[in-house]
Amino acid sequence: MSKLAFLFPGQASQYSGMGRDLAEKFPAARRIFESADVALGFSVSHLCFEGTEDELKLTENTQPAILTVSVAAEHVLEENGVVPDYVAGHSLGEYSALVAAGSLEFSTAIKLVRNRGQYMQEAVAHGDGAMAAVLGLAPAEVADICKKAAGNEVVIPANLNSPEQTVISGHAAAVKRAVEIASQSGAKRAVVLAVSAPFHCELMKPVEKRLEADLLAAKFSNLRFPLITNVDAEAITQGDEARAALIRQVCAPVRWEDSIREMIAQDVRIFVEVGPGRVLSGLLRQIDRSVRCLNVEDSTSLQSTIEKIAQARSETAEA
């Protein structure tokens, strides 16, 4: 039988109202929101359901909010008998994946990502760092452009998202130079992103040091099912491996395309994006259109996904 993977989104998937429908209709989801509010001592629920775009855009808010919605959606899926063979998460989403896999307690994970967001906001002065999406050029071409643009500054491929999309990160001036070179080199689009810090590059070294202390103090259990890590695009099942991957992840590129291809190589044919938005679904279509791509962010998408998984599995059984 073909296998199933859960994919958990990272930053930029947030929107006001996310998770409200799940919390209203499913006690399992509501319990996660209540747990988030208690763990952080403020209303994460209010932030998700009614927060303004500006509030949700603050990295220290974005990270716990997306984690909460993603874990709530995963709990409802599992309550309905849908359990994955593999999990993976894009950057922040790796924390959601580890909660789903039973390696991290939710109350631990939400405190970790709240701190992670604060550390990231504090690491680089506003305006000094930037990120940009480059569309329509091969990842190797983007890497060459970054080398040309760097000068004495930092700019590197930070998210290797798909054959068509690479996100770069580094000093603002170097990122701007890379965007100009990419545009001249035939990129379909090269655009600076509205983010509060230059993630996944060496400018995040102060974050790595601070977060490492938090991660070493946190309890990581062995995983119920394998996680494909961002840093290596390889499966892990041990708690210590999960912790080490999260430490390395801060400054290392997110190898998302490689992660998806690794799961496909392991016979995953159904992917479910679990949490707000459909960013990862869009990337999946750019990587391989032959696999099924579903999502769960509210009761409607949940019902549709449960039905489509059952249908796909009955078709496979008959084949």
- What six digits make up the tokens of 314? 């009955």
One-letter amino acid of 146: C
> Which of 70, 91, 103, 301 is the catalytic position?
91
> For the chain, how are helix, strand and coil distributed in percent, rounded to 5?
55, 15, 30
65, 186, 255, 267 from 233: Cα distances, Å: 25, 29, 6, 15
Q: Is the C-alpha dihedral spanning 101, 107, 111, 117 positive or negative?
A: positive
d(CA 176, CA 256): 24
Tokens 């798909």 correspond to what residue? 162
Secondary structure (3-state) at 219 = coil
The residues that bridge with 228 in the sheet, in sequence order, are 235
User: Comparing C-alpha atoms, which of 202, 200, 190, 192 is closest to residue 160?
Assistant: 200
Which parts of 185-269 fold into alpha helices (H)? 205-217, 239-249, 256-265
For the question of residue 91 being annotated catalytic, the response is yes
Going by the DSSP 8-state scheme, the letter that residue 42 receives in this structure is S
**Looking only at Cα atoms, what is the longest distance across the chain?**
60
- Name the packing angle between helices 106-123 and 205-217 (round to 10°): 160
> Which of 75, 90, 171, 200 is the catalytic position?
200
Label residue 11 exposed, middle or buried (CB < 10 Å: 0-12, 13-18, 19+). buried
Torsion of CA 102, 106, 108, 110, to 10 degrees: 130
d(CA 116, CA 201): 15
Catalytic residues: 91, 200
